[in-house]
Chains A and B, each alone.
Chain A
Amino acid sequence: MAIKVVLPTAFTRHTDGRKQFDSNAANLPGLLTEIDGTFPALSTQIKDESGKLRKFINIYINDEDIRFLGGDGYAFQDGDEVMLIPSIAGGL
Chain B
Amino acid sequence: MEYSCPNYELACNECGKRYGNRPLSACPDCIAPLEVVYDLASAKGVFTRESVAQGPADIWRYARLLPVPEGFQPDLAVGFTPLVRTAKFGSRIGADSLYVKNDAVCFPTLSFKDRVVSVALANAQKFGFDTVGCSSTGNLANSVAAQAARLGLKACILIPADLEPAKILNTLVYGARLIRIDGNYDHVNRLSTLIADEYNWGFVNVNLRPYYAEGSKTVGYEIAEQLGWRLPDNVVVPMAGGSLIRKIRKAFNELVFLGLVEKPERPVRFFGAQATGCSPITTAVRQGSDDIIPQKPNTIARSLAIGNPADGPAAAKMILQDGGWAEDVSDVEIVSGIQELAETEGIFTETAGGVTAAVTARLYADERIGRGETTVVCITGNGLKTTDVLANRYDRATSPAIRPRLADFEAYFRSLDGQPEPELVAAGE
A residues sitting closer than 8 Å to B (CB atoms) are 8-10, 13, 45-46, 48, 54-58, 60, 63, 65, 67-68, 85-92
Contacts and interface: CB of A to CB of B under 8 A. Distances in A.
Contacts of B213: 89
A88 B306 contact: no
Interface in B108-150: 112, 135-137, 140
B43 interface: no
B304 A56 contact: no
B319 to A, nearest CB: 14
A60 B31 contact: no
Given A48-B30, A54-B32, 9 more contacts: A10-B31, A45-B30, A65-B186, A65-B294, A67-B294, A68-B296, A91-B304, A92-B112, A92-B241
B31 A56 contact: yes
B231 interface: no
B216 to A, nearest CB: 8
B163 interface: no
Contacts of B357: none
A8 B197 contact: yes
Interface in B188-233: 189-190, 192-194, 197, 205-206, 209, 213
A91 B25 contact: no
A86 B380 CA distance: 27
B240 interface: yes
Report, nearest first, the 6 A-B pairs whose CB atoms are least far apart. A91-B240, A89-B310, A91-B241, A86-B26, A87-B310, A89-B241
Interface in B226-270: 237-244
Contacts of B135: 90
A34 B241 CA distance: 33
> B-side binding surface: helix, strand, loop or mixed?
loop
Nearest to A6: B194
Interface in B377-405: 380
18 contacts: A8-B193, A8-B197, A46-B31, A54-B30, A85-B190, A86-B25, A86-B26, A86-B193, A88-B192, A89-B309, A90-B136, A90-B205, A91-B240, A91-B309, A92-B238, A92-B244, A92-B303, A92-B352
Contacts, number: 98
A60 B186 CA distance: 11
A86 B31 contact: yes
A45 to B, nearest CB: 7
Nearest to B198: A9
B269 to A, nearest CB: 18
Contacts of A58: 190, 308
Given A67-B293, A68-B294, A90 B241 contact: yes
A92 B235 CA distance: 14
A38 B313 CA distance: 32
Contacts of B33: 56, 89
Contacts of B309: 89, 91
B193 A85 contact: yes
Nearest to B238: A92
B362 to A, nearest CB: 19
Interface string B86-121: 000000000000000000000000001000000000
A89 B310 CA distance: 4
Contacts of B240: 90-92
A8 B194 contact: yes
B45 interface: no
A56 B34 CA distance: 11
Given A8-B193, A55-B313, A56-B32, A92 B26 contact: no
A89 B243 contact: yes
A13 B194 CA distance: 17
A13 B28 contact: yes
B29 interface: yes
Nearest to B293: A67
B79 to A, nearest CB: 15
B368 interface: no
A88 B205 contact: yes
Contacts of B194: 8, 85
A37 B313 CA distance: 31
B271 interface: no
Contact of B308 (A45, A87, A92): A87
Contacts of A56: 26, 30-33, 310
Contacts of B345: none
A89 B294 contact: no
B28 A91 contact: no
Contacts of A57: 31
B116 to A, nearest CB: 9
Nearest to A46: B31
